[in-house]
Amino acid sequence: MKYQSLAACAIGVCLLASCNTKPTQTAEVQETATALQPLVLPTIPDILTTQEAQDEYLATHYWDKFNFADTAYIGNVDITEQALADFTGVLHRINPTTAAEAITNMMAAAHIDSLMFDYFINLTDKYYYNPNSPLRNDEYYMPVLNYLVAVTPDADAQRYRYMDRLQMAMKNRPGEQATNVEWVTADGQKMSLKDVKAHFTLLFFNEPDCHDCARVKEYMNQSQLFSFLLSNKTEDGGVPLQVVGIYAGEDEELWREGVYPSFMINGYDKSQKISMQRLYDLKAYPTLYLLDDQKRVVLKDVTVEQVEKWLYSQLDNREQ
């Protein structure tokens, strides 16, 4: 499923709506949906006067008044999915530890009913894990997975699926040192991530014949900010930004036939270590990671628009 109204929202959160036509509802279902009460947000205590404290309280008590026992809410886009979208917007404003607590609270509350629990499992999968979702976020999906691993019986095959996803989500998290990778260039030069000297490095995992990969290459090629950062020098003689395109697939001929911008280091994982050893969580292509000058992860699995927005914010901060 694609996500229409979220596509242009970058990190912000908008009303969740599908590009595809919604399934036809019967009059009975429509009447039931109409009768359902929207989510009532908790009343924030007057003693909490700072915005941070208010946001943290709102996040951790967000679902307190939602009736998880009423399965009529299942599949209701206007109420449940919009509530999740708004909830995610609150999560963006609070610290990661409190955000994880709030998500765990939500899953525990949904666990009151098996059908509702399954619905929220699928809902968080759809928006926090699915590579087509602009809301995908491993840091928000990990509390879900931790909860599922804890409550799913050992004999249930699903538990191993959750454990595998959790293991992959924990790789190359923001703030951590990025896993070093190696590649060869079209002229046979062997390089690794450690060889790239730049204030920021953008890892661009891609496939040569991927339509959205082509869009990202064209976006960077047309972006004034990318052009500025890629063509200028820093005070130490380095470059502000270097883009490293890496093809981790098996078809070397396909890679050699691919077209890449001249500013991009174009590499091929000839050893196939990235895919065989699952060094990075590549759910789909393209996958973008922004690294700092020490090769620590700044942004993980984001859109090119989010990268550009973040880089703009860094320039604005330096000018102030």
List, in order, residues 6 or more apart from 219 with CB less than 8 Å away: 304, 305
Predicted TM-score of the model (pTM): 0.83
Q: Which two tokens stand for residue 58?
A: 């709102």
At 51 the pLDDT is: 96
**Of the candidates 169, 192, 207, which is a domain's last residue?**
169
Q: Which of 114, 139, 169 is the last residue of a domain?
A: 169
User: Which of 169, 195, 223 is at the close of a domain?
Assistant: 169
Residue 190: the pLDDT is 97
The pLDDT score that the predictor gives to residue 30 is: 45
Q: Is there a domain that residue 242 lies in? A: yes
**pLDDT number for residue 316:** 66
How many structural domains compose the chain? 2
Q: Which domain holds residue 100?
A: 27-169
Burial class (CB in 10 A: 0-12, 13-18, 19+), 243: buried
Residues 6+ away with beta carbon under 8 Å from 317: none
> What span, in angstroms and rounded, lies between the C-alpha atoms of 12 and 10?
6
Output the pLDDT for position 296.
Answer: 98
Helix (H, G, I), strand (E, B) or coil at 71: helix
> C-alpha distances in angstroms, 83 versus 76, 80, 217, 266, 284?
10, 5, 35, 42, 27
Query: Do 214 and 308 belong to one domain?
Result: yes
**Which residues have a Cβ under 8 Å from the Cβ of 66 and sit 6 or more positions away?**
39, 40, 73, 83, 109
CATH of residue 232's domain is 3.40.30.10
Residue 12 lies in a domain: no
* List of the chain residues with pLDDT < 50: 1-33
